[in-house]
Chain A
Amino acid sequence: MQGLKDRLKELLTDGTVARVVGWKKGDMPYNPEPAVFTSVDEMDDFVYDGFCGANLSKMMIEATKLEGKTAVCLKPCDTYSFNQLIREHRVNRDNAYIVAVGCRGKLDIEKIKKDAKGITEISGTELDGADEITVKTIYGDKTVNYSDVLLNRCHVCKGKDHMISDEVWGESKDTADQERFAEIEKIEAMSPEERFEFFKKELSKCIRCNACRNVCPACSCRKCIFDNTKFDAQQKANVVSFEERMFHIIRAFHVAGRCTDCGECSRVCPEGIPLHLFNRKFIKDIDKFYGEFQAGKDPEAQCPLTDFTFEDIEPGERG
């Protein structure tokens, strides 16, 4: 981590960049926050460890509008989001300096906390750390395998390669150990009633905080339709009957074909709703109907849903 910090300081000092978008050390062992650093002094608080799961690419929408270049730390999966933002003309590539940081999977604090309350210290979460991490709590110490407490999305890792970079720092690891569409197939195999029950149970927890939308790199509308004050369906009213389901389904449709499956929606949901399932179902269907497509892999590629070919599936056809 020190090497990365030094390099970023160097970029600031030699004037390559005017600011750095990275993570700032938290006040607890597991809560670093995304941050913008504008000076070498501020960089003292920079951190990069297993808890830096946040995808910083969306912050570049605003950052690349500013004067001077902005350096941003992107993990392999974050680079897909960044490419997609280039594709949608949301970020200015010329104003970005991409430091492609290594990743060995990011940690899910909720999983760690399940068996560890009163955490005071966590060690071994650095990029070059051991396979085991030590969690010190006021109720006693524990060790857990790094790979057992990864964010769910890391189990279907898209690979260790960065899709875009100006320079690379650190080694990456492909952490995939599950089939990407296994969860979807399980839901597809349910009866319509079972499936409805499953989603009803999950979505009725929704508190309409809109964190999923606000963190989503594909949700980059300047004004979301759900924030329209002249619109009957209020963005903040969680009506138990149908409202929140509509919100999530509409959102999933809107990001279909553009969603890179970065998994931020599920990571930030305070109620632990597996929101990525909607998006991943669309990805699976797009793959099936239009041929394999990964949003953000190539910033020049045409998305199947915004393109027309004579081979396209007819509306209503179910393959």
Chain B
Amino acid sequence: MYKIAIKDINTLFSKIAGEQELILPVKKAGQYNFGVYEEGADTEGILTNKTVKSAKDAFFPQFETLYNVKKTITPADELENGEEASGTKIRTKLEVQMEELKDKDFVVFGMRGCDVKAVDVLDKVFLSDPVDNYYKARRDHSIIVALACHEPEESCFCTVFGIDPSDPKADVATWVVGEDLYWKPMTEKGTKLTESVKDILSDADEGAIEEEKANIKAIMDKLPNTKLSLEGWGQGKTDEKFNSEVWGKIYNPCLGCGTCTFVCPTCQCYDIKDYTTKDGIQRYRCWDSCMYSDFTLMAGGQNRTSQLQRFRQRFMHKLVYFPDRYDGMFSCVGCGRCVDKCPQSLNIIKVIKAFEKAEKGGAV
């Protein structure tokens, strides 16, 4: 167990960033978001404030090029003699340039317990057969330095999904205690990183973080949404929940925007498309949103034609389909970002509560 004074934290960031890429929350134009650390970055408040987007971009960026295809055309008068003789009029060559996979280690600092758990959810999808090479390369090279939640907020409900925000499981775990940041390597990768910054850390007593852990637990206990019940959700509930009338009563205000899906640390749907470039195409993938009208749109106009269906899809995926497929694991981690950001104040908590109310016979 080590520690560093919070006032010196930029020295730590600078040191880590000197060795490898460092991704952490930075304040830009008034908002906290994960980004690459650059000397002089505004890190004020990053230990206590929730980021708008999660750290998902570090492993699965919102936009990434998969490969480029370049087309070269050689006109007839530039063809080589042999080609000309064989009757070739023009030569068209397609060249595929693969995007390079991540091949260097990088550190993500400041992920909370919920964000770390969200990576487990993404792993299930991208590391099961067929393995996603782009994702795997990033996962293999990532070193996660997690941060215990010093000031959980009222939209937080990670404990509902069995997450302990006072004791995040990562390569290194850190805690804010008084004026110091406590630092504990938890894995081999974490120990290696710690070695490289050891000269600016000082030894610390493990006892100091026990009080902080107890404080966090006590706060979580007082928050309004941490007692939410997931009874009735999970494996085997497809028919019952899919056909419920409750969806029709609660979906209406949904704007069909992608806010909830894009701030979510676990939403993993993507689309693959091409940009036409001057001399070929750029094949890219970008996050998709089940809230959008073109999500999994097929030539015949299927398969979700109304906002009710799209709205239902998102929550069914998180609370029923995902657990069905992955041994009961929910694909929500209770980070509360969608709760904070939905323009219409709809969210997964309200959905769960509406079903609970309806099941008890109340009007929704």
Contacts and interface: CB of A to CB of B under 8 A. Distances in A.
A211 B338 CA distance: 13
B292 A235 contact: yes
B230 interface: no
Contact of A272 (B30, B219, B255, B258): B30
Q: With a 10 A CB-CB cut-off, give which of A113, A238, A270 has the most chain B CB atoms.
A: A270
Nearest to B353: A27
Nearest to B259: A209
B153 interface: yes
A32 B347 CA distance: 11
Interface in A38-92: 41-42, 44, 54, 59
Contact of A33 (B33, B259, B344, B353): B344
A232 interface: yes
Contacts of B53: 207
> Do most interface residues of chain A lie in helix, strand or loop, or is the interface mixed?
loop
B52 A120 contact: no
B271 A236 contact: yes
A167 to B, nearest CB: 24
Contact of A271 (B31, B293, B350): B31
Interface stretch (B106-114, B163-171, B283-291): B283-291
B290 to A, nearest CB: 11
A117 interface: yes
A159 interface: no
Contact of B29 (A239, A268, A272): A272
A189 interface: no
Nearest to A39: B363
Contacts of A240: 63
B151 A272 contact: no
Nearest to A109: B340
Interface string B332-347: 0000000101011110
A240 B331 CA distance: 28
B154 interface: yes
B344 to A, nearest CB: 5
Interface string A154-165: 000000000000
B302 to A, nearest CB: 14
A227 B294 contact: yes
A235 B289 CA distance: 11
A208 interface: yes
B358 interface: no
Contacts of B222: 118, 138
B253 A270 contact: no
Contacts of B339: 31
Interface in B64-103: none
A235 B345 CA distance: 23
Given A27-B350, A138-B219, A237 B151 contact: no
A34 B344 contact: yes
B9 to A, nearest CB: 21
Contacts of A267: 343
Given A34-B253, A236-B271, A270 B153 contact: no
Contact of B286 (A238, A270, A273): A238
Interface in B250-274: 252-253, 255-259, 261-263, 271, 273
Nearest to A41: B363
Nearest to A33: B345
A282 to B, nearest CB: 22
Given A207-B62, A272-B31, A236 B344 contact: no
A202 interface: yes
B297 interface: yes
Give chain A's interface residue range (CB within 8 Å of chain B).
35 or more
A211 B343 contact: yes
Contact of A215 (B52, B255, B262, B263): B255
Interface in A114-131: 117-120
Given A211-B343, A236-B292, A272-B29, A28 B363 contact: no
A211 B345 contact: no
B323 interface: no
A120 B151 CA distance: 14
A113 B30 CA distance: 14
Contact of B263 (A44, A205, A234, A270): A270
B253 A35 contact: yes
Residue among A137, A204, A209 with max Cβ neighbours from chain B (10 Å): A209
A220 interface: no
A291 interface: no
A229 B294 contact: yes
B192 interface: no
A101 to B, nearest CB: 18
A270 B154 contact: no
A88 B329 CA distance: 49
Give the 6 A-B residue pairs with the shortest CB-CB distance, closest first.
Answer: A268-B343, A211-B257, A31-B345, A237-B286, A214-B255, A270-B341
Given A138-B154, A205-B52, 10 more contacts: A33-B346, A41-B363, A120-B224, A207-B52, A207-B62, A207-B262, A208-B258, A210-B292, A211-B257, A271-B31
27 contacts: A26-B350, A31-B345, A33-B346, A35-B253, A42-B363, A59-B253, A118-B223, A139-B151, A202-B29, A205-B31, A205-B33, A207-B53, A209-B262, A211-B343, A227-B294, A229-B297, A236-B287, A236-B292, A237-B273, A237-B286, A238-B63, A240-B63, A270-B52, A270-B259, A270-B263, A272-B31, A273-B29
Interface of B: 28-31, 33, 52-53, 62-63, 151-155, 219, 222-224, 252-253, 255-259, 261-263, 271, 273, 275-276, 284, 286-289, 292-294, 297, 339, 341, 343-346, 349-350, 353, 363
